[in-house]
Structure 1
Amino acid sequence: MSMTDYKFKMRVSFDLDEVLFVDPSTHKTEKELIFPLNKIFKERLRLGTPELINSLQNMGYEVWVYTSSFRTEGYIKKLFRLYGVKFDGIVNADRHLKEVQRNSKTVLPQKIPSRYHISLHVDDEEVIASWGREYGFSTYKLDAQDDDWKDKIIQRAEEICKRKMESNG
C-alpha cells in the first residue's frame, strides 16, 4: 500500500546543517554547482539528497525543511531548485520564532516539527530526538557519512506511516 492510498498526508522534514548540507572533507557530496552559482550557493549537498527527496515525494510524502538557521526561504528554494528539488514547506528560524515561539514566556525548543504536523524529522542533534519524545514527533538521527542513509530514512518513514495507519484503523 502506498502513501497515496492513505487518508492522511505524512510529512517528513530535514534539518540543513550537517544533515543535507555537509562538509565534503568528511562526507560524500553531490557535484558542486557550476561557476558562478558555486560562489552564491557555497553549501554542499549530501550525496543522494535530491534522489531521496524526490523518491519520498513520489511515494506520496510531503517533504519539508525545518532548520534553526536564518537562511531565507527564497535562498533555500533557489539552491535546491538547482538540484531539481522542490520542498512542500520550509520552516526557518524566523518562521519558527514568529509562529511557534511567538509571545511565549517559556523558551521553547528551536524545533517542534509536530506544530507543523510533521511526522518524521531528520536531524543531527541528539537533543532534537529527546524533544521529539516530549513534543510528539519521531526523529531519525543522521550525522556521520552513511552510504545507506536514504534507504534507512525511507524505511523509518514507512514504519511511522504504517503505525499511524494501524492506530487510525
Structure 2
Amino acid sequence: MSLTNNQLNDFVKKEVKKYEGVYVPVKANILERAIIRSVSPKRLHPNPDDEFSFPTVGPHFGIIAKYEAQFRSRGKIKDDPWDESIQVQKIYPDGYMILNGHHRWAAALRTDIKRIPVNIINITHEVDIENMLKLSDHDKRVSLDLDEVIFCDPKKTEAEKPLKFPFNKIYKERIRKGIPSLLHILSRNGYDIWVYSSNYYSYDYISNYFKKYSVRLNGIITGTARKVKGKEEASKRIEKMFKEKYSETLHIDDKVVLRTIKGQKDFDDIPIVDEGDGWAYAVINIIKKLYPEE
C-alpha cells in the first residue's frame, strides 16, 4: 500500500470516520495477549481520540519518512524501529485500536510490511475506574506512581528478589525493596491502594504481578500521559469521583508523603528521610506517626 501524504491523510480520515462512535474496547484474554505478537498493519486502526487523527494536528510526515527509511534498511542499521512493539487494544467490531505507535504503523503501510509486532493491552477506562470505586468500602486511598516509585532499576536502587521461574520471564519489572510490606501496612490501615503510570500496562498484568507478592490493588490507571480527545473533561469527572469517595488521600512520591483531607485547605507535606534502613522503612515510619494508635 504505497501512499502519498495526501492519500495517507485521506485513508486516516476514512478509518476514523468508519470507527469513531462505533468501536467498543474489548478485553483481550490472557491467551490472546500471550500468543498474538504480530499482526498485519491492515488489522490496526488509528485511534480517533489520538492527536495523530486530529485534522488540526494529524500525522507528522517527517517522522513517518524516518521510519520508512529504517524499515527499508533493516539489518543495516543499529536502531531497530521494532525494538518496541506498537501498543494496541482489542476493539469491537474488528481488529485493534492503536494506543501508541501511529507513525510506525503509517510507515509500515507505506513500505508494504506484511506483519508488525504488537503488544495487546487492556487499559483502564473511565467506566472501569467507576466500577473499582463501587467495589471499595474504604474512605481513604493512597496513590503511587508505578514507574517513578514502585518499579526500579536494581543497579541503582535496592529491589525485591525477582520472582522464580517462569514468572520472572513474564514480570520483568523489578519492585523497590519494601514496597510489598508498605502496601500491606497501608491496607491494614484502611487505605485503598491505587497505582498509576504514564506508560501502558494491562490492568490484569499489574494486578496479577502484585498478587505474586500477596498485595491486592484496588485501582490501576495507566496511559495517563496519552494525548486524547476529551481527556481534560474525563480527568475532571474522575477527580470528582475520587473526591466524593475518599475523605483522605495519601500520595507517596519518591521524596515526600503528601496527605490531604476533604474539607481542609491545609495539607501535610512530609519529607521521606532514609536514615540507612531503606526508603520503604522511612515511609512506614511516617505512616506509624500519622496513626500512632493503630
Structure 1-normalised TM-score? Answer: 0.62
Aligned counterpart, 1:48: 178
| One of 226, 230, 233 as aligned partner of 1:102 | 230
Verify: 1:75 aligned to 2:213, yes or no.
no
Aligned residues: 140
Judged with a 3 Å threshold, the aligned counterparts in structure 2 of structure 1 residues 68 and 57 are, in CA distance, closer, same or farther, namely same
Given that 1:119 and 1:137 are in contact with CA atoms closer than 8 Å, whether structure 2 keeps it comes out as no
Give me the whole-angstrom Cα distance separating, in 2, the residues matched to 1:9 and 1:149. Answer: 26
Deviation at 1:96, TM superposition (A): 8.5
1:58-69 equivalences under 5 Å are 58-69=188-199
1:16-165 equivalences under 5 Å are 16-93=146-223, 102-104=230-232, 116-117=242-243, 119-124=249-254, 147-157=277-287
Deviation at 1:73, TM superposition (A): 0.8
Given that 1:16 and 1:66 are in contact with CA atoms closer than 8 Å, whether structure 2 keeps it comes out as yes
Whose strand fraction is larger, Structure 1's or Structure 2's? 2
Structure 2-normalised TM-score? Answer: 0.38
Give me the whole-angstrom Cα distance separating, in 2, the residues matched to 1:43 and 1:104. Answer: 30
Judged with a 3 Å threshold, the aligned counterparts in structure 2 of structure 1 residues 40 and 87 are, in CA distance, closer, same or farther, namely same
Give me the whole-angstrom Cα distance separating, in 1, the residues matched to 2:208 and 2:188. Answer: 21
Give me the whole-angstrom Cα distance separating, in 2, the residues matched to 1:56 and 1:115. Answer: 21
Identity of aligned residues (%): 36
Deviation at 1:14, TM superposition (A): 0.9
Deviation at 1:97, TM superposition (A): 7.2
Q: Which runs of 5+ in 2 are unaligned?
A: 1-137, 259-265
Q: Which runs of 5+ in 1 are unaligned?
A: 1-7, 130-135, 163-169
